[in-house]
Chain A
C-alpha cells in the first residue's frame, strides 16, 4: 500500500523567512504532484514532477524530486501572507497514474 508522509503538518512562518516542506512516499512512482488549497476552496495544481532530479519554480515556490530517496520538497522563499494555505503533495500510482494518494497536508500560516 502506498503511503505518503508530509511534514511538518503545521507551519507558522514570519514574512520574509524561508522554509521547506517535505514529502516522503513508500513505493516507486514517477509522478509527484503539489497542490494548494485555500480554506473552503478547491485544489489548485502547483507543480507536476516527472523524473528524478526534476526541479520546478513558480514565484516564491520551488519543488524538487528525488525518486531514489522517494522524497520531494517544496521550498518557500521569502514568504508572504498570500502564501497562507494548505499544501498537499500527492503521488500517482496505478495504470496511467490515475490514482492519487495524498499526504495529510501542511497548513502554512504566514504572519506579518
Chain B
C-alpha cells in the first residue's frame, strides 16, 4: 500500500469528454507531482507544485490542467484528449527526497 492515493485506478474516456484525476497525500509533503508513463518507458514529469503553487510545467499541452486546492490534494483535469494520451498517470509527493509515488491511474482514450 502506498501513502499517496490516486483515484480512479482506471479511466476510459472519449476524446470529447471532460474528466479529472485525483491525488491525495497526508504525509505533510510540500511538493506534489504529476508524471505520465507510457508502456515500457520511464515516467516523464508533467507538473510540479511546491507549497500549492505551480513551479514546473514541462510544456504540457493545455488539454491537461493541474490544480492544487490544498496541501494534501492534487487534481489533473482532462479535456479533449487524444489517443496518444493513453498512459499511466502517476502522482508523487515529497518533503525533500525521495519522491513517493501513488499506484497511478491507467487512462485509455477512445
Contact = CB atoms under 8 A, between A and B. Distances in A.
Given A97-B97, A99-B56, A42 B2 contact: yes
A74 interface: no
A103 B42 contact: yes
Contact of B98 (A48, A102, A103, A104): A48
A70 B45 CA distance: 22
Interface string A25-44: 00000010101000001111
A77 B10 CA distance: 37
A98 B42 contact: no
Interface string B20-43: 000000000001010000001111
A33 B55 CA distance: 21
A12 interface: no
B97 A33 contact: yes
Q: How large is the interface on A (under 10, 10 to 19, 20 to 34, 35 or more residues)?
A: 20 to 34
Interface string B91-104: 01010111111111
Contacts of B48: 98-99
Contacts of B94: 98
A100 B92 CA distance: 11
In the A-B complex, the 8 residue pairs with the smallest Cβ-Cβ separation, listed nearest first, are: A102-B42, A45-B98, A43-B101, A42-B101, A42-B103, A98-B48, A48-B98, A48-B97
Interface of B: 2, 31, 33, 40-45, 48, 50, 55-56, 90, 92, 94, 96-104
Given A99-B48, A105-B41, 7 more contacts: A33-B99, A43-B101, A45-B99, A45-B100, A96-B96, A98-B56, A101-B45
